[in-house]
Amino acid sequence: MSYVELHARSAFSFLRGGSSPEDLVKVAARLAMPALALCDRNGVYGVVRQHTSAKGLGLRALVGCELTMVDDTVVPVLVATQAGYRQLCALLTTANLRAPKGEGRITWEELAAGNQGLLALTGDEEGPLRRAWRERGAAEAALAGAKLQEIFGPDRLFAELQRHLLPNEDDENNFIIDWARSAGVPLLATNGVRYALPAAGAVLDVFTCLRHHATLDQAGRLLSANRQAHLKSHAQMKALFADLPEAIENTARVAARLEFTLANLGYRFPDYPVPAGQDQDEFLRKVTYFGAHQRYGTTGGAVRRQLDRELDLIGTLRFAGYFLMIWDLCAYSRGRGILVQGRGSAANSAVCYSLGITAVDPIASKLLFERFLSEGRSDWPDIDLDFPSGDRREDVIQEVYRKYGRTGAAMTANVITYQGRITMREVGKVFGFPEDVLDRFSALYHHGDLPETLELKDQLKAAGVTGDDPRYGKLLETCRLMHGLPRHLGQHSGGMVLSHGNLADFVPIENAQMPNRSVIQWDKTDCEEMGIVKVDLLGLGMMAVLQDTLEICADRGQPVDLGALPKDDPETFRLIQEADTIGVFQIESRAQMATLPRMKPANFYDLAIEVAIIRPGPIQGEATNPYLDRRQGKAPVLYSDERLRPILERTLGIVLFQEQILRIAMELGGFSASEADELRRAIGFTRSPERLNRMEEKLGAGLLRNGVSEEASASIRKSLASFALYGFPESHAISFALLAYASAWLRTHRATAFYVGLINNQPMGFYSVATLVQDARRRGLKVLPVCIQQSEAGSQVIDDHSFRLGFRSVKGLRAPSIARLLAARGQSPFTSVQDFMRRTELGAPERRMLALAGALNSLAEHRRSALWQVEESGSSDPLFRITPAADEPTLSPLERMTHLERLQSDYAALGLTTGRHPMALMRPHLPDTVLAGELKNFRHGTRVKVAGSAITRQRPGTAKGFCFITLEDESGHTNVIVRPQMFEDYRLIINLETALVITGRLQNEDGVIHVMAEEIEAMPALGLPEQESHNYH
């Protein structure tokens, strides 16, 4: 009988295992092991990955877990039956939900009450038996063993033996053998696997150091004594246990008893409660047609045909309950006045449109329903809902918890893995590199910055770690081994899962860091693999802006109906074409703004293309520039195969959308609906490229079979590969274009309300409030400063041309203080600084910040005078302390602030100024520089010098190492392009200096203006306030 490893930990034991489940499976299969049990600490975090990767390798993925008990001993259990799996999930859920994250412990009583269908091992050095033997001697150990025996009975407990070739381990094993024989407990050999291959032992040592907050040099005997805890073959294990053959044979016997695998999870989506006498299909049909009448007016002809087709398919696939649940959630939101809109491929469905889940009419937009749902589909359709971010979305999430119960719904997990900078920082620390080197590395390589232009060794060299350092080679190797391993588990931004009955029967639930949230142990891909339905309830900042803007407009007697906005408003499109789009959803980024003057969107569908075209998919598929050239008439519209014309006509012969790929696959590649669905899933599955490669080959063969030329086939396959890198479905682009257009229209026609909505929902979007305020000023709006007598908590509209900043703009002013302040003012206006201090009792830092912001100017002569007065009760010494009793204005001996000082105070207190841009003050000191607004007057190729606050820095993965910097000055923005080598040479200056002076050649083509950098320097320190920037996102 072949040896089966029944006690293996993966990196999902978080700092207690050095390999991924996939690597463990791969190596176990290579060793011809028939099965492998994954026993991660306190969870089943890695079992889906184990299950999925084992499927194609002929290996049985057995489920186990190491349970941490209240006395901190660790009991490994193996799942024998489905009931056992449910017991395990229940044990973990109970323990985790009553404790803060990561601190759940199981009581012995709970284990005694709920262990049916589970087998147990006596464990390794952390197990109750060995731990008692080590700490308290043989007699106590025998008692610990007896307790386990009592819980698991005579046939479900196994005495675990491990031989790692360590001196003195025989004593411990001899005790276990003696005890097992006397107690009648069968022996079981395991290798206590903590990594797949010996090399990954280094990772485990690094993890051990991280767990103990020690460096490798400090860790001493906490580190592994050797590298023997790897997967071993039958022959190796047989040789190790040559004297105890039954311990090896028992592994196969136990494995045979473990009937359960994730293939029989038994998950079911919850039924939707329908009125008596109807089933879910009938009820869905009823509500769909009710909605369709409202949407379409009439439901004859094409609408009825499409709805019937969709409803029949939904019925066949038994998805009616799911649609009803989403419909119900949307209805709940609307009932609470919360904006909601479906995104993604759901917009391809007329049923979703009729149910009010999506806002796009797929029939009018000729969208491909098969992108959303097809006959061959085995997994659940993907409906993502966008809500206003913040409290309104949380309201909807809590409604799901209320409706389905705390153990019936939970958020999906998000596995945060060791990647680039964080790996280097943590490993570097463990290797004992000094903090300043690690800081320098972090400063060089910002989060989100593209690392691929430099090898890690070159990145290290730039940070001051060279090959001369004796630890250098091992550092590189360890970082490579750790790359992609799980670091910790977060929660997905909005993914929720539901189940019929108890969700905790299928996957353990634990508390999230956020209050009132719980999270399962699997991420969204795991859920998809297991057929567990996920609903994405996403928070979108722009939805919150739209909702706030609409409310402001309604309050001011200028109501706006989003559904009735004119779709061809010339003024809105004029601003879009001029790239005057700061604050507009999706088309405000530097890259979008650089495309708008070339694209010149003239209608709604153009906007959808604009949204989709600046994406990694089309850019890497080299679709962006050919499309723009064709649109501008610089290149002819060609079709590599005439049969592509009807599919690609709307996008000028270029593949831009996923739907087009699917239609090509079906119409030219001979794919069936289910094959097309498989293709769709392969595009979305980012964890493994192999699946996509297989589909790409299949598509290529189908295209050739149907007479598509080699050249055309290659081009289509290239598009397919690029869509795996975040290409958009057309329906999704249209959904987003709706929001883009709505925000652009509001910015054009309800500017003050829109800017107030934007400012009140920060942080969001691409730009800081300072930039938004300057943008509003350039558009002729008046931005009024914070005022103690006038401001509200948030910013507020004054009239069509002005708005006032709210108290929330003041740094450090806490929400309770704002509430106290408003309540006091509500009783009567403040009459003096003393009156304000007496009635609000704000702390000194808050009073100081208000004075610094100029908010007290209406009560004092000037800011300095206010600053002098607010300190009056500042002393904590009773000898000096005074209580402002009366409105006795104290005369300030201080001088008024200069203009520069006021500017600096504005930035110190608010991070912005409502006055002129700070660069206007710097301009006299920068005599050779050109204003951003004047660049358009210079010819292409002119050498220019520009200066400004660096408000964004970007180095997208598609830009091959080029860096894009946006400089802001008093006249607008300058986009600067930095070549890869220059970026490497000036990396620190670019990343760390807040204001830059850049000299370079002007590129002025098709109204798109850039400066190609040739010289970069920090702006001289002349007191320019530091402006917030938005980098590498």
Partner 1 sequence: MNFAALWIPRFALLALQRQESGLAGQPVAVVAGEGRKAVIVESSIEAEGTLGLAVPLATARCPGLQLREPNPAAEQEAQRLLVAAAFALSPRVESTARGCCTVDLQGADPAQTLAAMHRQVAELSDAGLPVRIGAGETPLLARFAAQRADPILIVEDRAAFLRELPLSLALPTPGQTEVLHGWGIKTLGGLTALAKGEIGRRLGPEGALLWDRAHGESPRVLRLMEPSRTFAADWAYDPPVEFIEPILFKLRRFAERVALELRSAGMVAATLALTLLLEDETEHYREFRLPEPGANVDSWLRVLQTHLDTLRLAERVAGVRLLALPARPVQRQDGLFETGLTDPHAFWENLARLSAVVGPHRVGTPVNLDTHAPDACVLERPFVTVSAPEPLPIHPEHGGLLRRFRPPWPIRVLCVEALPMALDGGVRGEIRARRGPFLLSGEWWKPGAWAVETWQVELAEGGLYQLSRDRAGWWLDGTLD
SS (H, E, C) 650-662: HHCCCCCCHHHHH
What is the smallest separation between the CB atom of 162 and partner 1, expressed in angstroms? 14
Q: Which is nearer to partner 1, 600 or 902 (CB)?
A: 902
User: In DSSP terms, which residues pair with 74 in a beta bridge?
Assistant: 68
Nearest approach, Cβ of residue 184 and partner 1 (Å): 25
- The CB-of-418 to partner 1 minimum distance in angstroms stands at 17
Burial degree of 358 (CB within 10 A; 0-12, 13-18, 19+): buried
DSSP bridge partners of 540: 388
Specify the amino acid at residue 436: D
HSE value, Cβ hemisphere, 13 Å, CA-based, for 44: 32
* CB of residue 403 to partner 1, shortest distance in Å: 45
User: Could you tell me the smallest distance in angstroms from the CB atom of residue 157 to partner 1?
Assistant: 24
Give the residue with the Cβ less far from partner 1, 442 or 640. Answer: 442
Shorter beta-carbon distance to partner 1: residue 435 or 841: 435
Q: Which is nearer to partner 1, 389 or 904 (CB)?
A: 904
CA distance 735 to 343: 6
From residue 280, alpha-carbon distances to 58, 275, 313 in Å are 40, 9, 14
Q: In the bound complex, what is the minimum distance in angstroms from residue 1023's beta carbon to partner 1?
A: 13
Q: Kindly state the smallest distance separating residue 917's Cβ from partner 1, in Å.
A: 23
What is the Cα–Cα distance from 1003 to 989, expressed in whole angstroms?
23
H or E element: which one contains 53?
A: helix 47-55
Q: Which is nearer to partner 1, 136 or 1033 (CB)?
A: 136
- Alpha-carbon gap, residue 545 to 762, rounded angstroms: 9
Judged by beta carbon, residue 372 or residue 986, the one nearer partner 1 is 986
CB 255 to partner 1: min, Å:
28
Q: How far is the CB of 220 from partner 1 (least distance, A)?
A: 3
Min dist CB 874 to partner 1, Å, is: 5
Query: Which CB, 835 or 993, lies closer to partner 1?
Result: 993
Q: How far apart are CA 429 and CA 210, in angstroms?
A: 9
Q: What is the DSSP letter of 635?
A: S
Nearer to partner 1, 165 or 564 (CB): 165
State which residue, 166 or 819, has the beta carbon closest to partner 1: 166
By C-alpha distance, which of 562, 581, 583, 561 is closest to 758?
A: 583
In angstroms, what is the minimal distance from the CB of 171 to partner 1?
6
Three-class HEC string of 607-632: HHHHHHHCCHHHHHCCCHHHHHHHHC
Q: How far is the CB of 901 from partner 1 (least distance, A)?
A: 7
Q: What is the rounded distance in angstroms from the CA atom of residue 142 to the CA atom of residue 138?
A: 6
C-beta of 275 vs 878, nearer to partner 1: 878
Query: Rounded to the nearest 5 degrees, what angle is found at the Cα of 568, between the Cα atoms of 549 and 545?
Result: 15
Beta carbon nearer to partner 1, 63 or 870: 870
Cα–Cα distance measured from residue 61 to residue 58, given in angstroms and rounded to the nearest whole number? 9
For the chain, give the longest Cα–Cα distance: 96
Q: What is the bridge-based pairing of β-strands 384-388 and 534-540?
A: parallel
Enumerate binding residues for partner 1 (CB under 8 A). Answer: 134-137, 165-167, 171, 202, 205, 216, 220-221, 223, 225-228, 431, 435-436, 439-440, 442-444, 470-471, 474-475, 478, 848, 851-852, 864, 867-868, 871-872, 874-877, 879-880, 882, 893-895, 897, 901, 905, 988-989, 991-993, 1018
Q: Give the Cα separation of 670 and 681 in Å (integer).
A: 18
Closest to partner 1 by CB, 163 or 631? 163
Q: Which is nearer to partner 1, 815 or 882 (CB)?
A: 882
- Cis status, amide bond into 763, omega within 30 of 0: yes
Q: How far is Cα 107 from Cα 67, in angstroms, rounded to an integer?
A: 10
Cα 671 to chain centroid, rounded: 33
Quickly tell me which residue has 């990954």 as its tokens: 200
Q: How far is the CB of 830 from partner 1 (least distance, A)?
A: 20
Q: How far is the CB of 26 from partner 1 (least distance, A)?
A: 23
Taking the C-alpha atoms of residue 486 and residue 415, their distance in angstroms, rounded to an integer, is 6
How many Cβ atoms from other residues are within 10 Å of residue 838's Cβ?
Answer: 17
Tell me the β-bridge partners of 121.
158
Helix pair 169-183, 138-152: axis angle to 10 deg: 50
- Least Cβ distance, residue 1016 to partner 1 (angstroms): 11
137 vs 531 by CB, closer to partner 1: 137
Q: Residues for the chain: how many in total?
A: 1033
- Residue 474 Cβ vs partner 1, minimum distance, rounded to whole Å: 5
C-beta of 151 vs 859, nearer to partner 1:
859
Contacts of 563 (CB under 8 A, 6+ apart): 359
| Terminal CA-CA length for the chain | 54
Task: Identify which of residues 171 and 799 has a Cβ nearer to partner 1 in the complex.
Answer: 171
The dihedral built from the CA positions of residue 47, 50, 52 and 54, taken in this order, carries a sign that is negative
Phi, psi of 1022 (to 5 degrees): -115, 20
Q: Give yes or no for a contact between 289 and 281, defined as CB atoms under 8 angstroms apart.
A: no
